[in-house]
Each structure stands twice: as C-alpha cells, then as structure tokens.
Amino acid sequence: MTSIDADRLMEAAKLSSPALRERTQRDGLCSKDQDRADEWFPPQPPETSSGARAHYEHTARALCTPCPVRAECLEFALRQEAGQRAWGIWGGLAPWQREPLVKARRRHDTAHDLASTTIRALSQAA
C-alpha cells in the first residue's frame, strides 16, 4: 500500500484541484481503458462482507498500482471526500481505506503537512 512515491505525493499536494483532475483524466490508466470501467469503479460491497471487501481491495491495488498518476488521483479523491461519503476506487484505495486518511488530514492545511499525514497513514495501513 505504500508504493505511492512520497515525493510525488508531496508534489500532488501542492497542485490545485483542477490540475489534479486534469492530470488524472489525461494520464490515468482507467481513462485509457473505458471498457473496464466496471472493474475500476465496481459497486461498493457491503462492509459486513469481509470476502467482498478483500476482493474489492485486491482489485483496487491490482488496477491502480501501475498507474502513473496514482498520487495525483489519491490527493484529488481525498480533497473531494473531505465532507462527503466516499465511493469507488481512487489511487488504489477502497472507500473505507481512504476514510481514515481524510480524517487524519482535517487538521492540516499546508501541502507538506497534508502529504506527510497521508504518507504516515498509508504506512500504518500497510
């Protein structure tokens, strides 16, 4: 889970949300393979089903780990989810994996603090 490069995450945290969205849409692997959209954005399984959760998390990691804009995608998702219920796979993480990151980032507002908090939370989740 820590395959996101720390420097990339730090750089992503400095970008505006429109820039993050543009890069993700332009370079994201999922944007180049629309035929597999159901694999990248599967329906969220019931949180009580550990088998479904494990399958969902495995799918997220397998699809997003090689993506060249994974850090930008994760940063964009964490910003969008600051006040909303999370859904879908973003940056290789399932919604319930991103929720603790969103909460951990609430008290920080500099790019360095946001990236450091995200990297620390990712390390603890690994």
Summarize as ranges the residues that interact with ligand SF4 (CB under 6 A): 24, 28-30, 40, 63-64, 67, 69-70, 73, 89-92
Least distance (Å) from ligand SF4 to the CB of residue 25?
8
Among 8, 15, 119, which Cα is nearest to 70's? 8
Q: What is the DSSP string of 11-42?
A: HHHHS-HHHHHHHHHHH-GGGG-GGGHHHHSP
Phi/psi at 11 (nearest 5 deg)? -65, -40
> Cβ of residue 70: shortest distance to ligand SF4, in angstroms?
4
d(C-alpha 10, C-alpha 63), whole Å = 22
Nearer to ligand SF4, 34 or 48 (CB): 34
Q: How far is the CB of 108 from ligand SF4 (least distance, A)?
A: 22
Amino acid, single-letter form, for residue 62: A
CB of 41 to ligand SF4, least distance (A): 8
Nearer to ligand SF4, 91 or 117 (CB): 91
Q: For residues 45 and 88, which CB has a smaller minimum distance to ligand SF4 in the complex?
A: 88
